[in-house]
Amino acid sequence: MLKVPSLSLSALCLRLVVVAFCVGLFACDDSEETGETISLNCAGEVDTGSTTTISISGYVKDGKTGSKLSGAVNLYNSTGTVLLDNSSVSSSKYSFSGLTPSTYVLKSVITNYTSVADSKCLTSSSTSKDLIALTTSQATNANVIVLTWGDSSPTSADIDAYIQSYGGSPDSGTAKIYYNKKGSSSAWAMLDLDDRSYSGPETITINLDSSSGPMRNSITKACYYVHLYSSGSFSNSKAQVQIFQSNGTVLTNFDGPTDTSTSNRYWHVFDLDSNLNITTKNTVSSSVPSC
């Protein structure tokens, strides 16, 4: 005969209420009891685990100069709350291995630089997961747009950033900023860095003027796009565009298109209005985008 532990009626009722509350509202999540860490895959779904392991590495770079920085890189799961590992970095690369494909958050910690948390979907091993950092002074009264890409073939070795202004009265000859018309710190925008041989960064600074609205020269719109100058396709470019706001933190970022065509060499990433509102475009074409 089944024996039931002796319980007072009030204690038994309390236990039944607790069990029903757990089942009804929380489904008695075993992860809290086992210490299991819940992470999300690249589709934003709960990761059920994978037997595949990958490794990632890269440099931490100054977004204005391209200089390699010293400090540390911390790796978190997709929620940004659980520290998985850390790696000291100098002029050599940071490196993490034994990772399952998933979404991770990497955060550089560099003296005198703003710490930036960069969320990346990692599906395969990569040696070019560079992280960009800025000092607050580098972004003062400006928004900084940073383009990075892969560090070896079949990635395009030279990828160029463009920004085209509309409306207002941009400085003479600088309606379009790119490698052949770099602008200056006194213009509405300037190309800080043009990298012609892999990886980047290629950096454009939009100069802001609070006396005439967020964007200098009362420009009503700006169109930002990327051009594959040398051979390749966007699918293997490993391109990423990040917009840093005026305190040096990331406002948003865009991953390169998965388009495999070697004819579609232009990526229209986003537009900005005069109040710096972002309109995502994320389209590819074989000719200069119509902005």
Strand-pairing partners, residue 283, are 268
Tell me if 195 sits within 8 A of 249, measured CB to CB: no
**pLDDT surpassing 90 at residue 287:** yes
Q: Which residue has the tokens 């940073």?
A: 146
Q: Any idea which fold 50-133 has?
A: Immunoglobulin-like (2.60.40)
pTM: 0.80
> CATH: 2.60.60.30, 3.40.30.10, 3.30.565.10, 3.40.640.10. Which one for 134-291?
2.60.60.30
**For 92-103, what is each residue's pLDDT tens digit?**
788 888 888 888
At residue 211, the pLDDT reads 60
Contact 135, 239 (CB under 8 A): no
Is the pLDDT assigned to residue 7 strictly greater than 50? no
Question: Kind and range of the H or E element at 12?
Answer: helix 9-21
Domain boundaries, the chain: 50-133, 134-291
Instruction: Judge whether residue 69 has pLDDT over 80.
Output: yes
pLDDT of residue 116: 82
pLDDT higher than threshold 60 for residue 20: no
Task: Name the burial class of residue 117, with classes exposed (0-12), middle (13-18) and buried (19+) by CB atoms within 10 angstroms of its CB.
Answer: middle
Q: Which of 108, 188, 193 is nearest to 142 (CA)?
A: 188
Average pLDDT value over all residues in the chain: 80
Asked if pLDDT for residue 78 goes beyond 80, the answer is no
